[in-house]
């Protein structure tokens, strides 16, 4: 994958071999440390591994963690797509089948992290919009130790995946999210009240896409809150892996 023009990224793109055949790109950035640390894998929105995703990965690496962003769309239209490109929405369909196919990519990315000397074996997944379901699927059955979901979509289809899970899952939405109507928010809030490992945060006056600096919905306070939660979870995983 080509380096974004005019964008100063801290990591590099690596090639990961898919277990089912083929190769996909993954942005990787690791801190300069001799201490074993936890990792986080970012499951992107439909726009792919764009500058918004890279910036989040770089920030998390600056805090002392390994960060990876796999291209979950390599089977169809690979690479980042702009917000006004209709192919971004097209390549995300059919949604449930695409998410299912991407489960293997998340497993392969976690396996690849094992080749990084600083990795302590503990990884969280942080999903955004399209990638939100992986915050539940990752800890449930893909080998991840925790999940963080920011403005996740299609989430009612994955509610039952919370049943029987024991690893930490944080779900963060704005109450003005047009992809998460009140039914979604109330259903997940009710589930969190019954599950000790699930936390739901609903932020006032925040819209869909609040994590994306390139979006008109970007919200600095919501972004900072979400990054703080990610750091807290990763700090716990770093300690657990020692």
Q: pTM, whole model, 2 decimals?
A: 0.96
Flag whether 164 is in a domain.
Answer: yes
Flag whether 5 is in a domain.
Answer: no
Give the C-alpha separation, 126 to 132, whole Å: 7
What confidence tens digit (pLDDT) does each residue in 202-224 have? 999 999 999 999 999 999 999 99
Predicted local confidence at residue 1, as pLDDT: 62
What confidence tens digit (pLDDT) does each residue in 74-111 have? 999 999 999 999 999 999 999 999 999 999 999 999 99
- The conformational region for residue 238 under phi > 0 = left, psi -120 to 50 = alpha, else beta, is alpha
Q: What is the CATH number of the domain that holds 166?
A: 3.40.50.1820
Flag whether 22 is in a domain.
Answer: yes
More confident residue, 8 or 6: 8
Token readout for 2 is 């080509």
Flag whether 175 is in a domain.
Answer: yes
Flag whether 146 is in a domain.
Answer: yes
Give the C-alpha separation, 197 to 17, whole Å: 33
Predicted local confidence at residue 5, as pLDDT: 46
Number of domains in the chain: 1
What confidence tens digit (pLDDT) does each residue in 164-212 have? 999 999 999 999 999 999 999 999 999 999 999 999 999 999 999 999 9
Range of the domain at 115: 12-240
What confidence tens digit (pLDDT) does each residue in 49-83 have? 999 999 999 999 999 999 999 999 999 999 999 99
Flag whether 7 is in a domain.
Answer: no
What confidence tens digit (pLDDT) does each residue in 118-145 have? 999 999 999 999 999 999 999 999 999 9
Give the C-alpha separation, 37 to 121, whole Å: 8
Flag whether 31 is in a domain.
Answer: yes
Write the secondary structure of the chain as one string of H (helix), E (strand) and C (coil).
Answer: CCCCCCCCCCCEEEEEECCCCCEEEEEEECCCCCCCEEEEEEECCCCCCCHHHHHHHHHHHHCCCEEEEECCCCCCCCCCCCCCCCHHHHHCCCHHHHHHHHHHHHHHHHHHHCCCCCEEEEEEEEEEHHHCCHHHHHHHHHCCCEEEEECCCCHHHHHHHHCCCCCEEEEEEEEECCCCCHHHHHHHHHHHHHCCCEEEEEEEEEECCCCCCCCCCCCHHHHHHHHHHHHHHHHHHHHHCC
Predicted local confidence at residue 8, as pLDDT: 74
Flag whether 130 is in a domain.
Answer: yes
């Amino acid at each position: 994958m080509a380096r974004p023009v005019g964008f100063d990224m801290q990591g590099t793109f690596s090639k990961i071999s898919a277990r089912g055949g083929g190769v996909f790109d993954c942005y990787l950035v690791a801190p300069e440390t001799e201490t074993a640390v936890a990792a986080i894998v970012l499951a992107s929105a439909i726009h792919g591994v764009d500058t918004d995703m890279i910036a989040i990965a770089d920030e998390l690496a600056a805090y002392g963690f390994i960060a990876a962003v796999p291209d979950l769309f390599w089977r169809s239209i690979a690479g980042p797509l702009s917000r006004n490109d209709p192919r971004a929405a097209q390549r995300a369909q059919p949604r449930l089948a695409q998410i299912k196919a991407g489960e293997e990519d998340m497993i392969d990315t976690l396996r690849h992290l094992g080749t990084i000397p600083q990795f302590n074996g503990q990884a969280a997944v942080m999903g955004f919009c399209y990638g939100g379901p992986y915050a539940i699927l990752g800890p449930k059955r893909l080998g991840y130790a925790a999940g963080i979901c920011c403005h996740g979509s299609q989430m009612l289809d994955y509610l039952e995946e919370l049943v029987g899970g024991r690893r930490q899952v944080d779900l963060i939405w704005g109450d003005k999210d047009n992809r998460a109507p009140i039914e979604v928010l109330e259903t997940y809030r009710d589930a969190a009240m019954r599950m000790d490992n699930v936390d739901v945060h609903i932020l006032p006056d925040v819209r869909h896409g609040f994590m994306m600096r390139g979006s008109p919905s970007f919200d600095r306070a919501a972004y900072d809150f979400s990054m703080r939660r990610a750091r807290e979870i990763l700090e716990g995983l770093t300690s657990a892996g020692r």
